[in-house]
Structure 1
């Protein structure tokens, strides 16, 4: 039996110090901390190394920085998908809330050894941590006190406890969060609208959650993961191409993808349907395009003469997205093609395109 802290029903607003949140409190099992600050609205980032695209041993760009929010989402995404499928909840909403509440996993409460990414109060299996918080007296005055927050062994436990709350509600109202269930809603926007004013008093709570879901394409986690051989769905991004360089180690370092020699101006096509996430210039890749696909993989097409698509655009498999060229660090017209498990294009998440292509 889980040991829970017993709470009196209080109409207070509580926030751990260092957070900028406003939330309804009150439950005799656990209470929820709602809206995290604009900490996430402005994506925090850290420096990344530059990548030499031809050899692939340097990250995407000197100027570009690693997206902390994206890394956090990738840490919890698949677990969120699994729990969402099992419990009939929108994983997209769950992941967006965790991101918002924890400041993309950067808050003290969300990190080791607490792993509390939703700000849930009380105890979890007898484990809790007392942290200073700020509370409102209901008349706009804030004061500092201490509160006990659930302590988890990992993110998975925090996600499961949150899902239990959504499904079981509060002790005095088991269907308190029924409006977040897939069976009671048509799409994730109805769930985020329901949470606004109930999970959080912030009038912009739905807007912030929806923005995270749209920006990071979180609806892909609402679908069951296809365990079949989805790789066979991918096709070569050009016709009549000659492979001049394969994926893997080579003399100068590590080549991140394959190079396809083609004539200047040859159509480059989408290897699979998806949504364009980048269409820009990079000093090594030159003009390049990336596409996020429904299975979570991202494809990259570099050294383009001209990009023909814009970020956010939905493209079909075989649709022309760019013209082949020799921009960036290139010795002749060709297409540099990559497939990556990470939207952040991390080298340790790369796949060999020849093992994926149809």
Structure 2
């Protein structure tokens, strides 16, 4: 993996570097979907031992890596909160929202139609305490955190 970010912290034992249609290059999983010992999340009743719940999957990627639309859809900006960074956005399809957070630069605008494979942003760490990474969430259309589901299938990680 190129240019390791000294802020990266890994909360999974898997050391595999994965590729995905969502980004250029390869990256390790930092935090998986679900219960996590990562200290950034408040204790959640779904989790044991005071662990918090992570609503997406984080993949460690060097700053500036091109992020691509893994699905076709429409870009929706706003309404996500400071923890996601000022450049967080959703790719809305007919049946779900795919949320990308912490981007350092957007390559699309709100309302744009994007096709799978199209560059949409440059990876960053805006709003993230643990360095540059892709944060990807899957939610029902217009849904909040309580509507997040595991995005692993749509992330399509390949060792």
> Where does residue 27 of structure 2 map in the other structure?
241
> Where does residue 348 of structure 1 map in the other structure?
146
> Where does residue 264 of structure 1 map in the other structure?
63
- Work out which structure has the larger RCO, using CA pairs closer than 8 Å and 6 or more positions apart in sequence: 2
The answer on 1:285 being equivalent to 2:90 is no
> Where does residue 36 of structure 2 map in the other structure?
250
Quick check: which has more Rg, 1 or 2? 1
Alpha carbons of structure 1 residues 279 and 263: separation in structure 2 relative to 1, 3 Å: farther
8 Å CA contact 1:278–1:311 kept in 2: the answer is: yes
Alpha carbons of structure 1 residues 314 and 268: separation in structure 2 relative to 1, 3 Å: same
Using the alignment, how far apart are the partners of 2:32 and 2:21 within structure 1?
A: 14
Within a 5 Å distance, the mapping from 1:88-103 to structure 2 comes to none
> Structure 1 length normalisation: TM-score?
0.32
Using the alignment, how far apart are the partners of 1:236 and 1:350 within structure 2?
A: 20
Summarize deviations over 1:148-197 as a string: whole Å, max 9, x none: xxxxxxxxxxxxxxxxxxxxxxxxxxxxxxxxxxxxxxxxxxxxxxxxxx
Shift of residue 348, structure 1, vs aligned partner: 2.6
Q: Aligned match of 2:126 in 327, 334, 342?
A: 327
Summarize deviations over 1:59-107 as a string: whole Å, max 9, x none: xxxxxxxxxxxxxxxxxxxxxxxxxxxxxxxxxxxxxxxxxxxxxxxxx
8 Å CA contact 1:282–1:328 kept in 2: the answer is: no
Shift of residue 310, structure 1, vs aligned partner: 1.1
> Structure 2 length normalisation: TM-score?
0.70
Is there any run of 5+ residues in structure 2 with no aligned partner, and where?
1-19, 42-51
Q: Which has the higher strand share?
A: 2
Runs of at least 4 residues off by over 4 Å: none
